[in-house]
Protein backbone atom coordinates (compact mmCIF):
# COMPACT_ATOMS: atom_id res chain seq x y z
CA UNK A 1 0.00 0.00 0.00
CA UNK A 2 1.20 3.50 -0.74
CA UNK A 3 -0.13 6.76 0.57
CA UNK A 4 -0.11 10.23 -0.94
CA UNK A 5 -1.14 13.52 0.54
CA UNK A 6 -3.62 15.34 -1.63
CA UNK A 7 -3.71 18.98 -2.67
CA UNK A 8 -6.20 20.71 -4.93
CA UNK A 9 -6.58 17.92 -7.47
CA UNK A 10 -6.19 14.15 -7.66
CA UNK A 11 -4.78 12.85 -10.92
CA UNK A 12 -6.48 9.46 -10.48
CA UNK A 13 -9.81 9.34 -8.69
CA UNK A 14 -11.33 5.93 -9.42
CA UNK A 15 -10.86 4.15 -6.06
CA UNK A 16 -14.60 3.90 -5.45
CA UNK A 17 -15.44 2.56 -8.92
CA UNK A 18 -17.08 0.66 -10.59
CA UNK A 19 -20.30 2.62 -10.61
CA UNK A 20 -23.70 2.14 -12.17
CA UNK A 21 -24.24 4.49 -15.07
CA UNK A 22 -27.34 6.70 -15.17
CA UNK A 23 -28.06 8.19 -18.59
CA UNK A 24 -29.59 11.62 -18.11
CA UNK A 25 -32.23 12.69 -20.63
CA UNK A 26 -33.47 16.26 -20.82
CA UNK A 27 -35.58 18.27 -23.20
CA UNK A 28 -33.48 20.41 -25.52
CA UNK A 29 -35.88 22.71 -27.39
CA UNK A 30 -33.18 23.80 -29.84
CA UNK A 31 -32.68 20.29 -31.21
CA UNK A 32 -34.70 18.75 -34.01
CA UNK A 33 -35.10 15.66 -31.78
CA UNK A 34 -35.90 17.97 -28.80
CA UNK A 35 -33.71 15.80 -26.57
CA UNK A 36 -30.21 15.43 -25.20
CA UNK A 37 -28.66 12.51 -23.32
CA UNK A 38 -25.45 12.12 -21.31
CA UNK A 39 -24.18 9.35 -19.04
CA UNK A 40 -23.39 10.16 -15.40
CA UNK A 41 -21.54 7.67 -13.23
CA UNK A 42 -21.66 10.17 -10.37
CA UNK A 43 -25.24 9.41 -9.41
CA UNK A 44 -26.97 8.36 -6.21
CA UNK A 45 -30.25 7.62 -4.56
CA UNK A 46 -30.65 10.29 -1.88
CA UNK A 47 -34.03 9.82 -0.17
CA UNK A 48 -36.86 7.25 0.05
CA UNK A 49 -39.74 9.55 1.01
CA UNK A 50 -39.88 11.70 -0.95
CA UNK A 51 -37.95 9.60 -3.48
CA UNK A 52 -34.98 11.73 -4.51
CA UNK A 53 -32.21 10.85 -6.93
CA UNK A 54 -29.15 12.95 -7.76
CA UNK A 55 -26.65 13.31 -10.59
CA UNK A 56 -23.42 15.32 -10.40
CA UNK A 57 -22.93 17.28 -13.61
CA UNK A 58 -20.04 19.53 -14.57
CA UNK A 59 -20.81 23.04 -15.88
CA UNK A 60 -18.75 22.02 -18.93
CA UNK A 61 -21.57 19.75 -20.11
CA UNK A 62 -24.28 20.92 -22.48
CA UNK A 63 -26.71 19.02 -20.22
CA UNK A 64 -25.73 21.30 -17.34
CA UNK A 65 -27.23 24.30 -19.08
CA UNK A 66 -30.46 22.41 -19.73
CA UNK A 67 -30.71 21.06 -16.16
CA UNK A 68 -29.89 24.45 -14.63
CA UNK A 69 -33.11 25.76 -16.16
CA UNK A 70 -34.86 23.58 -13.57
CA UNK A 71 -36.27 21.29 -16.22
CA UNK A 72 -37.50 17.83 -15.40
CA UNK A 73 -35.14 15.08 -16.49
CA UNK A 74 -34.97 11.32 -16.81
CA UNK A 75 -32.32 8.86 -15.74
CA UNK A 76 -32.13 5.48 -17.47
CA UNK A 77 -30.21 2.37 -16.48
CA UNK A 78 -28.83 0.08 -19.15
CA UNK A 79 -27.37 -3.40 -19.35
CA UNK A 80 -23.80 -4.16 -20.46
CA UNK A 81 -24.86 -4.79 -24.06
CA UNK A 82 -25.56 -1.06 -24.38
CA UNK A 83 -22.02 -0.02 -23.40
CA UNK A 84 -21.23 1.31 -26.87
CA UNK A 85 -24.28 3.53 -26.94
CA UNK A 86 -23.42 4.89 -23.49
CA UNK A 87 -19.82 5.50 -24.57
CA UNK A 88 -21.09 7.33 -27.68
CA UNK A 89 -23.42 9.54 -25.61
CA UNK A 90 -20.54 10.30 -23.24
CA UNK A 91 -18.05 10.95 -26.01
CA UNK A 92 -20.05 13.64 -27.79
CA UNK A 93 -21.72 16.85 -26.74
CA UNK A 94 -25.17 18.19 -27.48
CA UNK A 95 -23.40 21.51 -27.91
CA UNK A 96 -22.09 20.22 -31.24
CA UNK A 97 -24.53 17.58 -32.43
CA UNK A 98 -28.03 16.22 -32.09
CA UNK A 99 -27.07 12.84 -30.59
CA UNK A 100 -30.48 11.35 -31.26
CA UNK A 101 -30.16 12.03 -34.99
CA UNK A 102 -26.45 11.27 -35.17
CA UNK A 103 -26.84 7.83 -33.56
CA UNK A 104 -30.22 7.02 -35.13
CA UNK A 105 -31.99 6.73 -31.76
CA UNK A 106 -35.71 6.59 -31.18
CA UNK A 107 -36.86 8.82 -28.37
CA UNK A 108 -39.83 8.07 -26.17
CA UNK A 109 -41.41 10.58 -23.81
CA UNK A 110 -42.33 10.34 -20.14
CA UNK A 111 -45.73 9.40 -18.75
CA UNK A 112 -45.73 11.93 -15.92
CA UNK A 113 -43.31 14.60 -17.16
CA UNK A 114 -42.01 15.99 -20.43
CA UNK A 115 -38.76 14.06 -20.33
CA UNK A 116 -37.06 12.16 -23.17
CA UNK A 117 -36.35 8.45 -22.70
CA UNK A 118 -34.27 6.00 -24.69
CA UNK A 119 -35.62 2.55 -25.50
CA UNK A 120 -33.64 -0.48 -24.31
CA UNK A 121 -33.11 0.56 -20.68
CA UNK A 122 -34.10 -1.97 -18.00
CA UNK A 123 -35.27 0.86 -15.73
CA UNK A 124 -35.80 4.60 -15.84
CA UNK A 125 -37.02 7.41 -13.60
CA UNK A 126 -38.89 10.54 -14.57
CA UNK A 127 -37.68 13.27 -12.24
CA UNK A 128 -39.03 16.67 -11.38
CA UNK A 129 -36.41 19.31 -10.57
CA UNK A 130 -35.96 19.46 -6.80
CA UNK A 131 -32.66 21.24 -6.12
CA UNK A 132 -29.27 22.19 -7.54
CA UNK A 133 -26.47 21.87 -5.02
CA UNK A 134 -22.97 23.14 -5.84
CA UNK A 135 -20.36 20.49 -4.98
CA UNK A 136 -16.89 21.63 -6.01
CA UNK A 137 -16.44 21.50 -9.78
CA UNK A 138 -19.76 19.66 -10.33
CA UNK A 139 -23.31 20.51 -9.26
CA UNK A 140 -25.57 17.88 -7.79
CA UNK A 141 -28.91 18.04 -9.60
CA UNK A 142 -31.50 16.46 -7.36
CA UNK A 143 -34.76 15.23 -8.84
CA UNK A 144 -37.94 13.93 -7.28
CA UNK A 145 -39.05 10.64 -8.82
CA UNK A 146 -42.49 11.08 -10.40
CA UNK A 147 -42.61 7.90 -12.49
CA UNK A 148 -40.67 4.65 -12.58
CA UNK A 149 -40.24 2.45 -15.63
CA UNK A 150 -39.03 -1.10 -15.08
CA UNK A 151 -38.60 -4.23 -17.12
CA UNK A 152 -40.18 -6.77 -14.77
CA UNK A 153 -37.85 -9.51 -16.06
CA UNK A 154 -34.85 -7.62 -14.67
CA UNK A 155 -36.02 -7.59 -11.04
CA UNK A 156 -36.46 -10.30 -8.41
CA UNK A 157 -39.44 -10.63 -6.05
CA UNK A 158 -37.88 -8.00 -3.75
CA UNK A 159 -37.44 -5.52 -6.60
CA UNK A 160 -33.67 -6.02 -6.85
CA UNK A 161 -31.99 -6.06 -10.29
CA UNK A 162 -30.04 -9.30 -9.72
CA UNK A 163 -27.12 -10.08 -12.06
CA UNK A 164 -28.71 -13.34 -13.27
CA UNK A 165 -31.63 -11.28 -14.55
CA UNK A 166 -29.77 -8.26 -15.88
CA UNK A 167 -26.05 -7.57 -16.38
CA UNK A 168 -26.29 -3.92 -15.30
CA UNK A 169 -23.72 -1.71 -16.96
CA UNK A 170 -20.85 -0.72 -14.68
CA UNK A 171 -18.23 1.91 -15.39
CA UNK A 172 -14.70 1.48 -14.03
CA UNK A 173 -13.30 4.80 -15.30
CA UNK A 174 -10.91 5.48 -18.18
CA UNK A 175 -13.25 4.04 -20.86
CA UNK A 176 -13.54 0.63 -19.12
CA UNK A 177 -16.99 -0.96 -18.86
CA UNK A 178 -18.19 -4.16 -17.21
CA UNK A 179 -21.07 -5.79 -15.39
CA UNK A 180 -21.58 -7.51 -12.02
CA UNK A 181 -20.40 -11.10 -11.50
CA UNK A 182 -23.26 -13.64 -11.39
CA UNK A 183 -22.63 -14.71 -7.77
CA UNK A 184 -24.84 -13.06 -5.18
CA UNK A 185 -25.69 -13.94 -1.59
CA UNK A 186 -28.61 -12.52 0.36
CA UNK A 187 -27.44 -11.95 3.96
CA UNK A 188 -30.32 -11.07 6.23
CA UNK A 189 -29.99 -9.18 9.49
CA UNK A 190 -29.35 -11.51 12.46
C1 LIG B 1 -19.52 6.36 -18.50
C2 LIG B 1 -19.44 7.86 -18.36
C3 LIG B 1 -19.79 8.47 -17.18
C4 LIG B 1 -19.77 9.85 -17.03
N5 LIG B 1 -20.15 10.42 -15.86
C6 LIG B 1 -20.21 11.78 -15.75
C7 LIG B 1 -20.71 12.39 -14.57
O8 LIG B 1 -21.09 11.71 -13.60
N9 LIG B 1 -20.78 13.75 -14.54
C10 LIG B 1 -20.39 14.53 -15.59
O11 LIG B 1 -20.47 15.76 -15.50
N12 LIG B 1 -19.90 13.97 -16.73
C13 LIG B 1 -19.83 12.62 -16.83
N14 LIG B 1 -19.39 12.04 -18.00
C15 LIG B 1 -19.02 12.90 -19.13
C16 LIG B 1 -20.23 13.34 -19.97
O17 LIG B 1 -21.14 12.30 -20.16
C18 LIG B 1 -19.70 13.83 -21.32
O19 LIG B 1 -18.88 14.95 -21.13
C20 LIG B 1 -20.81 14.13 -22.33
O21 LIG B 1 -20.20 14.37 -23.57
C22 LIG B 1 -21.66 15.32 -21.93
O23 LIG B 1 -22.65 15.48 -22.92
P24 LIG B 1 -23.41 16.86 -23.17
O25 LIG B 1 -22.34 17.92 -23.41
O26 LIG B 1 -24.25 16.61 -24.36
O27 LIG B 1 -24.19 17.16 -21.93
C28 LIG B 1 -19.36 10.65 -18.13
C29 LIG B 1 -18.98 10.04 -19.33
C30 LIG B 1 -19.01 8.66 -19.44
C31 LIG B 1 -18.60 8.02 -20.74
Series of mean pLDDT values for 10-residue runs along the chain (190 residues) = 92 96 98 98 98 98 98 98 98 98 98 97 98 98 98 97 97 98 93
* Spatial distance between the Cα atoms of 190 and 62, rounded to a whole number of angstroms: 48
Residues 6+ apart with CB under 8 A from 31: 94, 98, 100
Q: Is 20 close to ligand 1, i.e. is its CB under 6 Å away?
A: no
On whether residue 6 sits in a domain, the answer given is no
On whether residue 159 sits in a domain, the answer given is yes
Q: Is 109 close to ligand 1, i.e. is its CB under 6 Å away?
A: no
The CATH number of residue 31's host domain is 2.30.110.10
pLDDT the model gives residue 8: 87
**For 43, what's the count of Cα atoms within 13 Å in the CB-facing half-sphere?**
22
Most informative mutation of 34, 41, 67, 174 for ligand 1 (most atoms within 8 A of CB): 41
On whether residue 188 sits in a domain, the answer given is no
Q: Is 92 close to ligand 1, i.e. is its CB under 6 Å away?
A: yes
pTM over 0.75: yes
> How many angstroms separate the alpha carbon of residue 139 from the centre of ligand 1?
13
* Spatial distance between the Cα atoms of 22 and 127, rounded to a whole number of angstroms: 13
On whether residue 14 sits in a domain, the answer given is no
Residue 167's domain comprises: 19-178
Tell me which residue has its CA closest to atom 14 in ligand 1: 40
On whether residue 10 sits in a domain, the answer given is no
What Rg value do the Cα atoms of the chain yield, rounded?
A: 17
Cβ atoms of 178 and 41 within 8 Å: the answer is no
On whether residue 187 sits in a domain, the answer given is no
Most informative mutation of 23, 27, 39, 73 for ligand 1 (most atoms within 8 A of CB): 39
Helix (H) or strand (E) holding 63: helix 62-67
On whether residue 89 sits in a domain, the answer given is yes
Q: How many domains, the chain?
A: 1
Amino acid sequence: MRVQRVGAKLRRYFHYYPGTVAVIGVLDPEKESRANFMPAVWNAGLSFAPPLFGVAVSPKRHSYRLLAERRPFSVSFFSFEHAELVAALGGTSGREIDKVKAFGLEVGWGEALEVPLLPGAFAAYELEFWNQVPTGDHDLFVGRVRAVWEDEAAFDEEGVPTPDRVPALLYYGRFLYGHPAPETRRIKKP
